[in-house]
Chain A
Amino acid sequence: MNARIKTENHDRQETKYTTCYMCACRCGIKVTLEDNKVRFIQGNRNHPTNQGVLCAKGSAGIMKQYSTAKLTQPLMRKPGTERGEGVYEAISWDQALDILTNRLEEIRATDPAKLAYFTGRDQMQALTGLWAQQFGTPNWAAHGGFCSVNMAAAGLYTIGFSFWEFGAPDWDYAKYFIMWGVAEDHSSNPIKIGLEKLKRRGGKFVSVNPVRTGYSAIADEWLPIKPGMDGLLAMSMVHVLLKHELFDYEFLVKYTNASWLVVQTPGEKGDGLFLRDEKNHPLIWDIEKEMFKNGEDGDIAPALFGEYVAPDGRRVKTVFSMMAERYLDAQYAPENVALQVGLPAESIERIALEMAHVAFKEAVELPIAWTDVWGRKHDKVVGRPVAFYAMRGIAAHSNGFHGCRAVHFIQMMLGALDGPGNFRARAPYPKPIPPHQLPENNLDIINAPNTPLSRPPLGFPTRPEDLVIDEFGNPVRIDKAYSWEVPIASHGMMHMVITNACNHDPYAIDTLMLFMANMAWNSTMNTKNVQDMLRMKDPEEPGEYKIPFLVVIDAFHSEMTNFADLILPDTTYLERYDTISLLDRPISEPDAAADAIRHPLVTLDRDVRPWQEVMVELASRLKFPAFTKPDGTRKFTGYKDFIVNFERSPGIGFLAGYRGVDGTKSLKGEPNPNQWEAYIANQSFFAHHWPDNQKYVRYANKDYLEVAADAGFVGKVEPIIMQFYSEPLQKFRLAGMGLYDGPQPNNQVDRERLVKYFDPLPMWYQPLEQQRTDANEYPFFALTQRPMFMYHSWDSQNVWLRQIMAQNYLYMNAGKARSMGIEDFDWVWVESHNGKIRCQVKTMEGTQEDTVWTWNAIGKQKGAWGLKENASEATKGFLLNHLISELLPEKNGERRVTNSDPVTGQAAWFDLRVKIYKAAPGETGSWPQFDVLKPFPGDERYERPNVLRYDARTHEKN
């Protein structure tokens, strides 16, 4: 009908489905290719994560594929040059693999812990963890320790699932939604899809955030909280709910430990632990039978309140009575926390009451029959339609673990968990609390040469015996995770690795392998000093560096690659086979267990290899048992073969879909030799849709738990009872008090930290760094977030995305700036206890008055990321990281302690306080500045024209 409109000739096009990797969201994408060039990337309508939509990053994938920062070949630091000079020689893959294999062979045969292997924002920790375990080093972790372990650990030690990949708001039924401390674009597409659904239905959206950008822009109510006060706000809301007797009595009795009895013998061993029977079951007081009964049983009528006397004469009290005593205290009353959190008491009280109103007066009932784990049948599901989502704004504080737990307390009190309209679990969660996986801590195994660990390096300690410490109580891991300093560091502490390795504290390592982690720039605290550490020579070993051998695996010319002794170049996400596994960080949705793959869409044009493939190769060369046949030959021909045939336990592998010899089995089944082909034929993902009776209350849903047990999500079919009161924390606290029958710390610093911070009920305390800095001298809280169009995108060299932002500013509250005589575009100095930077200011209304913030990782080192030297990112962009120390300020007579949450080791990025003053006239440009990175061999292939005219279809038009 419109003959004049020329449409596209599709004859030479093909469309393929794969999984996006522009961020951690991992949406399904449909990619149109023309002659091996990427024409168009769009969302896959059938994919459970993004349902057809795609964010800015996803659409900008084209410009990642054609980035001029792509590494082209393996590189070796040129002999005779110094680390950090950036002078490299190209070597072949054979040479690179030989060099690395020889080095690793030697380490593995002598002292496997001398290899530290840390990975950044990858999502293949199932494979990297298996690799480290098979190598036999305890020194492995991904980036969770510097990201959001507080959020993950708080969830997994409290409700059995957590925010991010392990749970999601139920957007279809939610009527009230609170977003706590969520940066601009977390969980990119799903949250945007969901917020629109919520608002369309007239639901209310409240955002708790010191900054009003991104999602918060469309919030119905914005609560500009002061950073680090979230826990106090949540506890004050708990106070309001208790004061008004607004809690779901039935939920508390059925699904939580609120009725369990806690021993009250202060100053004695056993104080604060659960009263247990001879079979170690926690006990409740049954008000019907008037006797103590097993708190995990179904056939009980527990007292929620009260003090009782145990048969042995000890006083005991219910958890909920302890909670009521604590949180009803006036110190948590809204009017008494208002000043500190920076919000009106009226708002705190009203929001708590609004939530309760929606939870109890506007409950959702679905006529779905289901059976609970105790065998009773129900004819409906009741949902409290109050949903939460929370993230790093709460987590990245040294009081974040307790803060995150306090948020879960509100959810439990409202009974708003895994029901219609609230916060629902995503398979393989929920899991037992905490998950039944302990970190390897057998010293004989850890120290044994050529021996895999008997279990993974990371896990979830429940008591001091689970720590990874030596016979003197010293850390065994290079990052000191699971030591007395940070006992529940369940994601490791990547932010401490370089510092500890350079200090030879607790020991010296030989080789550090870093994958996809920019630890010499925006992913580290204290960037400038960390760069110096990487260059630091060892005075005791002439010619050697403190970290003798540094291997960096990355696809792009990052600031980190510039320090590598050996660079192994990776591919882009459109060039490789990859799995997004349920054994790892899942992409399940509440209604479906799901996983996905990537497969090569674009033909490689340079000498790079997928790190997955290289890991399988190294594992085979090093003869890891899981990768080697009894006759000593390799078990797997490569990554694809490994994914198909590796079974963690019989029938359970990396991919849950299209299993069984003929590909007809789901979740569990024999290896299917054609599994990759089946995934590709099914748009590169697999989804197991839960039937209605398995969609809700999955912590106590018999039919769901039976499937979960069979699929290996949980060990066995048993209730997952949510834990208000955390007994594991109390065990550590008793150890700090010297009241524990088992390992106890012998250092006063550790004892004090355990006693102070291992409270089994959430508590608020001033963040640790702020306890040691003068708030008068440093009056501002300072923090960062990533912009929506770059969140989790691990680079901003993308030539389209950088047109949206190539320079970051320091954002300040406009009124506050006025009062200080600071105007838009003024250059200012920002100073912390750790150093100072110069940057440019922009003012805005939507920033809490005592807070300044900036976009993270916009600032780049000159010459990095395929950009020209004059790129705004390098001349005007800046990092706040220089101001943040990985260690707490020194305290007399105390060893240096990590700037992290004392429970989990979560990097305390957002505890920073700064002062700000105008730069002198003429002082412009960002500071500090660094050397210009030299181009790598191979860089000559890239043109960096002054005008780029990308067109995948040029041939057609010419």
Chain B
Amino acid sequence: MRLGLVIDLDVCVGCHACAIACKQWNASGTIGPLSDYEPYGAEPSGVWFNRIRHYEMDEYPHNKTVNFPMSCNHCEDADCVTVCPTGASYKRAEDGIVLVDQDKCMGCNYCSWACPYGARELDRSSGTMKKCTLCVDRIYDETLAIEDRQPSCVLTCPAHARWFGDFDDPDSQVSRITRERGGFGLMPELGYNPTNQYLPPRRKPVIEVNTQPKGGLKESIKQFANKLVRR
């Protein structure tokens, strides 16, 4: 299996629902807590596995806003794993999920420097590196209903802009939608083979209209004829 996410940039409204759902699941999840620094003071910040960035393309008035959720891409060729001096960072053979063994991690930050996507988050309190686990403690929890065995970001996304599944299965929803919509991985030139795929904005619908009016202005009131329409 090669588990990962599809993120639909055509419908992501940048609402941060996925980011907070991730935060609340994982804060009390197996990798939690996720520290919050200065939560009541100036410049609050904290450990987040999923962050939403907002970009603008082109110039006013032809500009477009693109909302861009970003989390671990669970790369096929994950440098974050190879650089890890303790073996804490590992990629699971059975499903491709990249995880950090909290008992082995010494917080050296090598993996974070190796990750071009900025997906790794050092928890300064535990002194360990943390990151998206694809909610591995949800998706394999057989006590949950099958429809609940998904990453919390996917479960919650109000715009249904997130999909979870197995990219090794060509018939899976994520494989199909990636094919159909021309999905792409981020920065392929770097050669990490990211598993997560992004769907580009759709083309604008075109509606043909006839701009030639039937009548003229003002005096056309006289041209309006009553029709026999019974209520």
Interface residues of A (CB under 8 A from B): 1-2, 5-8, 10, 34, 39-43, 45, 50, 52-60, 62, 68, 176, 185, 188-189, 192-193, 195-196, 199-200, 202-204, 212-218, 220-222, 224, 243-245, 249-250, 253-254, 287-288, 297-306, 321, 324-325, 328-330, 333, 349-350, 353-354, 356-358, 374, 788-789, 799-804, 806, 813-815, 844-847, 849, 866-868, 870-872, 875, 944-954
* CB <8 Å contact, B23 and A846: no
Q: Which residues of B contact A57 (CB under 8 A)?
A: 20
Q: Which residues of B contact A254 (CB under 8 A)?
A: 229, 231
B60 interface neighbour in A298, A845, A866, Cβ under 8 Å: A845
The 7 closest A-B pairs by CB, nearest first: A845-B63, A217-B65, A192-B158, A353-B209, A951-B33, A799-B39, A949-B33
The CB with the most chain A CB atoms within 10 A, among B24, B63, B210, B227, is that of: B24
Cross-chain pairs A/B with CB under 8 angstroms, 25 sampled: A1-B140, A5-B136, A42-B152, A54-B158, A55-B17, A59-B21, A196-B161, A204-B205, A213-B65, A217-B65, A217-B67, A224-B61, A300-B231, A301-B231, A328-B218, A353-B211, A358-B207, A803-B39, A846-B56, A866-B40, A867-B41, A872-B44, A875-B42, A949-B33, A951-B28
Q: Which residues of B contact A846 (CB under 8 A)?
A: 56, 60, 63, 65
In the assembled complex, the CB of A772 is this many whole angstroms from the nearest CB of chain B, namely 30
* CB <8 Å contact, B36 and A59: no
Q: Which residues of A contact B161 (CB under 8 A)?
A: 196
Residue on B nearest A875 in the bound complex, by CB? B42
* CB <8 Å contact, A799 and B44: yes
Considering the chains assembled together, what is the distance between the CA atoms of A947 and B34 in angstroms?
10
Considering the chains assembled together, what is the distance between the CA atoms of A57 and B16 in angstroms?
9
Q: Given A196-B161, A849-B60, is A40 in contact with B16 using a C-beta cutoff of 8 Å?
A: no
Q: Which residues of B contact A813 (CB under 8 A)?
A: 60
Q: Which residues of B contact A806 (CB under 8 A)?
A: 42-44
Residue on B nearest A301 in the bound complex, by CB? B230
Q: Which residues of B contact A214 (CB under 8 A)?
A: 13-15
Considering the chains assembled together, what is the distance between the CA atoms of A301 and B231 in angstroms?
6
Residue on B nearest A2 in the bound complex, by CB? B140
Q: Given A217-B67, A845-B59, A870-B41, is A59 in contact with B228 using a C-beta cutoff of 8 Å?
A: no
* CB <8 Å contact, B27 and A950: yes
Q: For chain B, residues 185 to 231, give those with C-beta under 8 angstroms from any C-beta of chain A.
A: 201-202, 204-205, 207-211, 213-215, 217-218, 220-221, 224-231
Instruction: Beyond the given A59-B24, A306-B226, A945-B39, please list 4 additional residue pairs across the A-B interface where CB-CB is below 8 A.
Output: A55-B158, A301-B228, A305-B221, A947-B39
Considering the chains assembled together, what is the distance between the CA atoms of A949 and B161 in angstroms?
30
Q: Which residues of B contact A324 (CB under 8 A)?
A: 221, 224
In the assembled complex, the CB of A408 is this many whole angstroms from the nearest CB of chain B, namely 21
* CB <8 Å contact, B23 and A800: yes
A54 interface neighbour in B17, B33, B54, B67, Cβ under 8 Å: B17
Considering the chains assembled together, what is the distance between the CA atoms of A185 and B159 in angstroms?
12
Q: Which residues of B contact A303 (CB under 8 A)?
A: 226
Q: Given A8-B141, A788-B14, A803-B46, is A40 in contact with B24 using a C-beta cutoff of 8 Å?
A: yes
* CB <8 Å contact, A2 and B94: yes
Q: Which residues of A contact B94 (CB under 8 A)?
A: 1-2
Q: Which residues of A contact B215 (CB under 8 A)?
A: 243, 245
Considering the chains assembled together, what is the distance between the CA atoms of A328 and B12 in angstroms?
40
Considering the chains assembled together, what is the distance between the CA atoms of A176 and B209 in angstroms?
14
A222 interface neighbour in B45, B61, B138, Cβ under 8 Å: B61
* CB <8 Å contact, A300 and B226: no
B15 interface neighbour in A34, A40, A192, A222, Cβ under 8 Å: A192
In the assembled complex, the CB of A287 is this many whole angstroms from the nearest CB of chain B, namely 6
Q: Which residues of B contact A10 (CB under 8 A)?
A: 143
Q: B172 contacts the other chain (Cβ, under 8 Å)?
A: no
B32 interface neighbour in A199, A203, A951, Cβ under 8 Å: A951
Mark contacts of B96-135 with chain A using CB atoms, 8 A cut-off: 1 yes-contact digit, 0 otherwise.
0000000000000000000000000000110000000000
Q: Which residues of B contact A948 (CB under 8 A)?
A: 35-36, 39, 46
The CB with the most chain A CB atoms within 10 A, among B21, B45, B46, B158, is that of: B158
Q: Given A199-B202, A349-B211, A946-B37, is A59 in contact with B218 using a C-beta cutoff of 8 Å?
A: no
Q: Given A60-B20, A298-B231, A374-B231, is A803 in contact with B45 using a C-beta cutoff of 8 Å?
A: yes
A802 interface neighbour in B13, B44, B48, B213, Cβ under 8 Å: B44
* CB <8 Å contact, A868 and B17: no
Residue on B nearest A212 in the bound complex, by CB? B65
Q: Which residues of A contact B59 (CB under 8 A)?
A: 814-815, 845
Residue on B nearest A243 in the bound complex, by CB? B213
* CB <8 Å contact, A789 and B137: no
Q: Which residues of B contact A243 (CB under 8 A)?
A: 213, 215, 217, 220
Considering the chains assembled together, what is the distance between the CA atoms of A946 and B142 in angstroms?
37
Q: B64 contacts the other chain (Cβ, under 8 Å)?
A: yes
In the assembled complex, the CB of A59 is this many whole angstroms from the nearest CB of chain B, namely 4
* CB <8 Å contact, A288 and B228: yes
Considering the chains assembled together, what is the distance between the CA atoms of A949 and B143 in angstroms?
27
Considering the chains assembled together, what is the distance between the CA atoms of A8 and B37 in angstroms?
26
* CB <8 Å contact, B30 and A8: yes
Considering the chains assembled together, what is the distance between the CA atoms of A358 and B205 in angstroms?
12
* CB <8 Å contact, A189 and B158: yes
Residue on B nearest A9 in the bound complex, by CB? B143
* CB <8 Å contact, B207 and A244: no
Q: Given A193-B159, A789-B16, A948-B39, is A218 in contact with B11 using a C-beta cutoff of 8 Å?
A: yes
Q: Given A800-B20, A953-B28, is A788 in contact with B15 using a C-beta cutoff of 8 Å?
A: yes
Considering the chains assembled together, what is the distance between the CA atoms of A288 and B202 in angstroms?
51
Q: Which residues of B contact A354 (CB under 8 A)?
A: 207, 209
Q: Given A6-B137, A217-B66, A287-B226, is A204 in contact with B44 using a C-beta cutoff of 8 Å?
A: no
The CB with the most chain A CB atoms within 10 A, among B39, B140, B215, is that of: B39
In the assembled complex, the CB of A324 is this many whole angstroms from the nearest CB of chain B, namely 5
Considering the chains assembled together, what is the distance between the CA atoms of A358 and B17 in angstroms?
33
Residue on A nearest B210 in the bound complex, by CB? A353
Q: B166 contacts the other chain (Cβ, under 8 Å)?
A: no
Considering the chains assembled together, what is the distance between the CA atoms of A333 and B28 in angstroms?
60
Considering the chains assembled together, what is the distance between the CA atoms of A586 and B155 in angstroms?
26
* CB <8 Å contact, A330 and B217: yes
In the assembled complex, the CB of B212 is this many whole angstroms from the nearest CB of chain A, namely 8
Q: For chain B, residues 66 to 110, give those with C-beta under 8 angstroms from any C-beta of chain A.
A: 66-67, 92, 94-95
Q: B171 contacts the other chain (Cβ, under 8 Å)?
A: no
Considering the chains assembled together, what is the distance between the CA atoms of A176 and B207 in angstroms?
10
Residue on A nearest B203 in the bound complex, by CB? A220
In the assembled complex, the CB of A788 is this many whole angstroms from the nearest CB of chain B, namely 4
The CB with the most chain A CB atoms within 10 A, among B143, B157, B209, is that of: B209
B21 interface neighbour in A54, A224, A300, A952, Cβ under 8 Å: A54
Considering the chains assembled together, what is the distance between the CA atoms of A354 and B45 in angstroms?
46
Q: Given A56-B17, A195-B13, is A951 in contact with B207 using a C-beta cutoff of 8 Å?
A: no
* CB <8 Å contact, A950 and B160: no
B160 interface neighbour in A56, A196, A844, Cβ under 8 Å: A196
B137 interface neighbour in A5, A356, A799, Cβ under 8 Å: A5
Q: Which residues of B contact A196 (CB under 8 A)?
A: 8, 11, 159-161
B159 interface neighbour in A192, A306, A353, Cβ under 8 Å: A192
Considering the chains assembled together, what is the distance between the CA atoms of A788 and B17 in angstroms?
9
Q: Which residues of A contact B226 (CB under 8 A)?
A: 287, 303-306
Residue on B nearest A253 in the bound complex, by CB? B229
Q: Which residues of B contact A302 (CB under 8 A)?
A: 229, 231
In the assembled complex, the CB of B167 is this many whole angstroms from the nearest CB of chain A, namely 18
The CB with the most chain B CB atoms within 10 A, among A40, A374, A872, is that of: A40
A350 interface neighbour in B11, B20, B211, Cβ under 8 Å: B211
Q: Which residues of B contact A204 (CB under 8 A)?
A: 204-205, 207
In the assembled complex, the CB of B30 is this many whole angstroms from the nearest CB of chain A, namely 5
* CB <8 Å contact, B13 and A215: yes
* CB <8 Å contact, A357 and B208: yes
Q: Which residues of B contact A60 (CB under 8 A)?
A: 20, 24
Q: Which residues of A contact B175 (CB under 8 A)?
A: none
Considering the chains assembled together, what is the distance between the CA atoms of A534 and B204 in angstroms?
53
Residue on B nearest A10 in the bound complex, by CB? B143
Mark contacts of B144-172 with chain A using CB atoms, 8 A cut-off: 1 yes-contact digit, 0 otherwise.
00010000100111111100000000000
